[in-house]
């Protein structure tokens, strides 16, 4: 009995010692009065660790740069070291001396729960509890989705692009690109569209003046440095107009074809390498494919597979990175098709549309419709338009008995693009401006030659010339002023006339001044007036005489003298054409 209890007693002592030692260690860990450590006796002020995600957006995508931060609340001025714990399968290294855990390139494997704690640097006598977990979710890199409207347009029209991130989130800016074909790997390179290099906050962008088939793409970005989504699938906007550098022709020409026939697409232009691509009608651009998938490519010609029944848009892409015009082609297994041009017809040309049966013969009337309205109902199987116009553009189909063909769009283009008239108007405007300048110059020279007073004498700048020169210049200016007044319809001219006979008398006394009214009479014969008045006569000697009425007024008389009587006398003075009025001698 004693031998049996002895081992049990020893085992009990060992367990008791372990419990006591462990309790003592725990007390030492939680001892808040240890040396070189703050007093944390008040548990309410005990520092705590808080883990946060440093991101402006709640959604994190693969490839983004992110950071998690550990903050010590109520830690005072103490210095801390940091430790991280995560459930992520991706090992993350961190620097214990800084509070951040940085992830330069996030992977989906970084997803998980993260928490942190802080330890005092001074002897590590204290550490915080672990923070609460924060959840980090990293999603795969998103792709942008592009839509374009309209999908077919007239040359020079505007195209509206709309871009949307595959997984919408905050902070996106959108960049816009033009797709350039790369024949080496059947893909595209992307060039920024003008005005979109810095991205736009709006998720839409308008391209003005598109003249031919073109491909576009977009992508979204956010942050600094910018994190981008994948490029969108290229979206194409089609034009039916061919270009000299690249064009597509269909043989036989037509939109609808029977499966029993053969159809080939031929690429022409300034390139030795071509590929033919297509996008099925009413489908997304992800169905973009090349000729080897649904036909046989031989040089620059693609022969279509007869088993392909769905309609699609076809175009050529050259080795120099250009797009041809596009055409809609359908291979039909129906009993009736509409034969219509595959490419746009020119305004003013004669156009013929007809119905064709796979089997059987036409035994009744054939109906033709445009945009759902009946436009012809007779026994002919052909719709002739002698001179097609823009109003004839639309969706056509034909019907024979119970057989109705699919619809096909016929596009009509103007014979002269409006933009072509701009150079003509510019040239006409320049010619008119030059002629107007020449006319004004000739008119100016004519007035100078006819009118000596048209250009007034210029006062000499030098002050060293004599008074005689200044007198002549001033006198000339005064004469021109008087002459100008006469030209503008003034019929009276007042001037002072000194009487020569009084110059010898009373030389020392004041002089008498006579004021004269000179009336110039019209010497031209008025229309319808056969008789001339005495005042309007030209005298036989060929000179023109003006009547001068002198009104003498005594002025400046001596004291004691009586004023002379006022006398009126008429004096005729010869006025010579071409002489200044101020130089005429009064007789």
CA angle 224, 216, 218 (to 5 degrees): 20
Residues in the chain: 587
Q: Which of 208, 222, 142 is nearest to 175 (CA)?
A: 222
User: Among the residues of 378-513, which ranges form H helices?
Assistant: 421-450, 467-487
Residue 19 has pLDDT above 90, yes or no: no
Distances in whole angstroms, Cα of residue 126 to Cα of each of 24, 61, 72 = 16, 37, 13
The helix (H) or strand (E) run that includes residue 314 is strand 312-318
Question: Would you state the pLDDT for residue 103?
Answer: 92
Distances in whole angstroms, Cα of residue 450 to Cα of each of 204, 445, 446 = 68, 9, 6
Other residues' Cβ atoms within 10 Å of the Cβ of residue 554: 14
Please enumerate in sequence order all residues whose Cβ is within 8 A of that of 426, keeping only pairs 6 or more positions apart, or say none.
none
Question: Would you state the pLDDT for residue 2?
Answer: 44
Q: Predicted confidence band at 423 (pLDDT cuts at 50, 70, 90)?
A: low
Q: Predicted confidence band at 355 (pLDDT cuts at 50, 70, 90)?
A: very high
Which tokens hold the place of 537? Answer: 């006569």
At residue 193, what are phi and psi to the nearest 5 degrees?
Answer: -75, 145
State how far the Cα of 46 lies from the Cα of 75, in Å rounded to an integer: 8
Block residue for tokens 């290229």: 234
Residue 42 has pLDDT above 50, yes or no: no
Q: CA 382: distance to chain centroid?
A: 46
Instruction: For 340-392, give the secondary structure using H, E and C.
Output: CCCCCEECCCCEEEEEEECCCCCCCCEEEEECCEEEEEECCCEEEECCCCHHH
Q: Predicted confidence band at 535 (pLDDT cuts at 50, 70, 90)?
A: very low
State how far the Cα of 238 lies from the Cα of 81, in Å rounded to an integer: 63
Rg of the chain (C-alpha set): 53
Instruction: For 435-456, give the secondary structure using H, E and C.
Output: HHHHHHHHHHHHHHHHCCCCCC
Q: Which of 346, 340, 351, 473 is nearest to 413 (CA)?
A: 346
Contact between 274 and 248 (Cβ < 8 Å): no
Question: Would you state the pLDDT for residue 394?
Answer: 92
Question: Would you state the pLDDT for residue 57?
Answer: 85
Residue 20 has pLDDT above 70, yes or no: no
> How many helices and strands, by DSSP H and E, does the chain display?
3, 39
Question: Would you state the pLDDT for residue 506?
Answer: 46
Question: Would you state the pLDDT for residue 283?
Answer: 65
Question: Would you state the pLDDT for residue 44?
Answer: 53
Residue 440 has pLDDT above 80, yes or no: yes
pLDDT in tens, 47-77: 899 999 998 888 899 999 999 999 998 877 7
Q: Predicted confidence band at 364 (pLDDT cuts at 50, 70, 90)?
A: confident
Mean pLDDT confidence for 541-569? 46
Is 475 or 215 the better-scoring residue by pLDDT? 215
Question: Would you state the pLDDT for residue 416?
Answer: 57
Is 228 or 469 the better-scoring residue by pLDDT? 228
State how far the Cα of 171 lies from the Cα of 226, in Å rounded to an integer: 11
Q: CA 142: distance to chain centroid?
A: 30
- Strands of 100-103's sheet in order across: 48-54, 66-73, 100-103
pLDDT in tens, 98-143: 999 999 999 999 999 999 999 988 755 688 999 999 999 999 999 9
Q: DSSP assignment, residue 402?
A: T
Q: Which fold has domain 144-237?
A: Immunoglobulin-like (2.60.40)
State how far the Cα of 233 lies from the Cα of 235, in Å rounded to an integer: 6
Question: Would you state the pLDDT for residue 192?
Answer: 95
pLDDT in tens, 76-98: 778 899 999 999 888 778 899 99
Question: Would you state the pLDDT for residue 237?
Answer: 93
Residue 28 has pLDDT above 90, yes or no: no
State how far the Cα of 197 lies from the Cα of 205, in Å rounded to an integer: 12
Name the residue ranges covered by the structural domains of the chain.
Answer: 43-139, 144-237, 418-450, 490-524+535-583
Q: DSSP assignment, residue 152?
A: B
Question: Would you state the pLDDT for residue 534?
Answer: 43
Is 106 or 13 the better-scoring residue by pLDDT? 106
Q: Coil, helix or strand for 275?
A: strand
The helix (H) or strand (E) run that includes residue 191 is strand 187-192
Question: Would you state the pLDDT for residue 112?
Answer: 94
Contact between 137 and 181 (Cβ < 8 Å): no
From 179-183, 282-286, 312-316, 344-348, the region with the lowest mean pLDDT: 282-286
Q: What residues does 295 pair with on adjacent strands?
A: 304
Which tokens hold the place of 386? Answer: 């002698």
The helix (H) or strand (E) run that includes residue 285 is none
Q: Which fold has domain 43-139?
A: Immunoglobulin-like (2.60.40)
Residue 173 has pLDDT above 60, yes or no: yes
Question: Would you state the pLDDT for residue 12?
Answer: 53
Question: Would you state the pLDDT for residue 45?
Answer: 67
| Neighbour-count burial of 107, counting CB atoms closer than 10 A to its CB (0-12 exposed, 13-18 middle, 19+ buried) | middle
């Amino acid at each position: 009995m004693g031998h049996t209890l002895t081992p049990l007693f020893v085992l009990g002592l060992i367990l008791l010692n372990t419990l006591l030692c462990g309790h003592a260690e725990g007390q030492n860990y939680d001892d808040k009065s240890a040396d070189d450590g703050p007093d944390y006796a008040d548990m309410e002020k005990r520092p705590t660790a808080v883990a946060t995600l440093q991101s402006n957006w709640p959604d994190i995508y693969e490839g983004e740069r992110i950071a998690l931060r550990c903050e010590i609340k109520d830690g005072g001025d103490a210095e801390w070291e940091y430790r991280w714990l995560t459930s992520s399968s991706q090992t993350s290294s961190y620097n214990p001396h800084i509070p951040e855990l940085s992830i330069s390139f996030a992977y989906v494997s970084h997803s998980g729960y993260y928490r942190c704690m802080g330890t005092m640097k001074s002897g590590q006598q204290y550490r915080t509890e672990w923070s609460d977990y924060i959840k980090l979710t990293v999603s795969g890199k998103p792709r942008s989705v592009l839509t374009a409207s309209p999908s077919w347009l007239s040359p020079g029209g505007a195209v509206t692009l709309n871009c949307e991130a595959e997984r919408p989130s905050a902070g996106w800016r959108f960049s816009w690109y033009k797709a350039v074909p790369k024949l080496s790997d059947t893909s595209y390179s992307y060039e920024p569209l003008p005005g979109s290099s810095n991205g736009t906050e709006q998720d839409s962008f308008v391209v003005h003046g598109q003249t031919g088939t073109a491909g576009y793409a977009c992508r979204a970005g956010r942050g600094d440095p910018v994190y981008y989504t994948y490029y969108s699938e290229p979206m194409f906007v089609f034009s039916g107009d061919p270009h000299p550098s690249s064009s597509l022709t269909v043989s036989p020409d037509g939109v609808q074809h029977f499966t029993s026939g053969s159809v080939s697409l031929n690429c022409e232009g300034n390139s030795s390498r071509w590929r033919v691509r297509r996008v099925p009608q009413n489908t997304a651009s992800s169905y973009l494919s090349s000729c080897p998938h649904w036909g046989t490519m031989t040089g620059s010609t693609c022969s279509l597979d007869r088993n392909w029944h769905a309609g699609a848009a076809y175009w050529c892409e050259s080795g120099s990175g250009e797009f041809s015009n596009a055409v809609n082609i359908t291979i039909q297994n129906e009993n009736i098709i509409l034969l219509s041009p595959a490419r746009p017809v020119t305004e003013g040309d004669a156009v013929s549309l007809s119905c064709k049966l796979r089997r059987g013969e036409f035994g009744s009337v054939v109906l033709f419709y445009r945009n759902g309205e009946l436009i012809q109902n007779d026994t002919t199987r052909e719709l002739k338009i002698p001179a097609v116009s823009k109003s004839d553009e639309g969706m056509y189909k034909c019907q024979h008995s119970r057989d109705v063909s699919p619809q096909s769009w016929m596009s009509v283009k103007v014979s002269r693009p409006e933009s072509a008239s701009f150079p003509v108007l510019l040239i006409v405007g320049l010619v008119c401006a030059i002629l107007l300048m020449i006319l004004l110059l000739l008119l100016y020279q004519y007035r100078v030659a006819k009118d000596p007073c048209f250009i007034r004498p210029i006062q000499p700048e030098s002050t060293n010339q004599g008074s005689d020169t200044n007198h002549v210049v001033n006198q000339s200016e005064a004469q021109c002023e008087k002459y100008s007044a006469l030209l503008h319809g003034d019929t009276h001219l007042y001037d002072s006339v000194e009487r020569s006979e009084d110059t010898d008398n009373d030389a020392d006394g004041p002089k008498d001044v006579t004021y004269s009214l000179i009336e110039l009479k019209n010497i031209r014969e008025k229309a319808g007036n056969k008789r001339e008045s005495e005042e309007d006569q030209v005298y036989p000697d060929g000179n023109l005489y003006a009547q001068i009425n002198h009104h003498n007024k005594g002025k400046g008389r001596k004291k004691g003298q009586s004023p002379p009587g006022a006398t009126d006398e008429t004096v005729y003075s010869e006025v010579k054409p071409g002489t200044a009025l101020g130089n005429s001698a009064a007789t």
